[in-house]
Amino acid sequence: MKENKVYTVTCIETCPECNGVGTVQSQSWTDFWSEVERSGYKAHNMGMDDFNDLVAVYEDNFGGLGPQTIPCSECDGIGEKIRKVPLLDALHDLGIMPRD
Ligand SMILES: [Zn+2]
């Protein structure tokens, strides 16, 4: 490798924060489900009427919930993390060139 040159490759991987979806649950909804769990309700066997009642009670006490999902801040909502990786690191990572 010549001096003053750095060879890199582009690494595109599924965002670990949102698993490639591009959105994550908003904090207000995470807090809501925590509160639901704490109060003993089981989300998986809750009917729509119970759910709507819980949302209404929660919003009365804690304010509006807003959207359930928001763009993932880790990947800016694209579901992928794109970064430059030094060529040698990529070759090691791919198993093409052994480490050491
Ligand atoms: Zn993401």
60 CA to middle of ligand 1, Å? 31
In angstroms, what is the span from residue 25 Cα to ligand 1's centroid? 11
Count how many domains the chain has: 2
Domain that holds residue 100: 1-24+77-100
Secondary structure (H, E, C), 13-28 = EECCCCCCCCEEECHH
- CA angle 29/31/73 to nearest 5° reads 60
Q: Is 35 helix (H, G, I), strand (E, B) or coil?
A: helix
Identity of the residue numbered 17:
E
CA of 82 to the centre of ligand 1 (A): 11
Nearest one of 31, 37, 36, 29 to 65, comparing CA atoms: 29
For each of the chain's 100 residues, which pLDDT tens digit applies? 568 998 999 999 999 999 999 999 999 999 999 988 888 877 777 888 988 998 999 999 989 999 999 999 999 999 999 999 999 999 999 999 887 7
pLDDT, position 1: 52
In a domain, 5, yes or no: yes
- Separation of first and last alpha carbons in the chain: 18
Q: Are residues 32 and 20 part of one domain?
A: no
Same domain, 11 and 39: no
Q: Is residue 72 part of a domain?
A: no
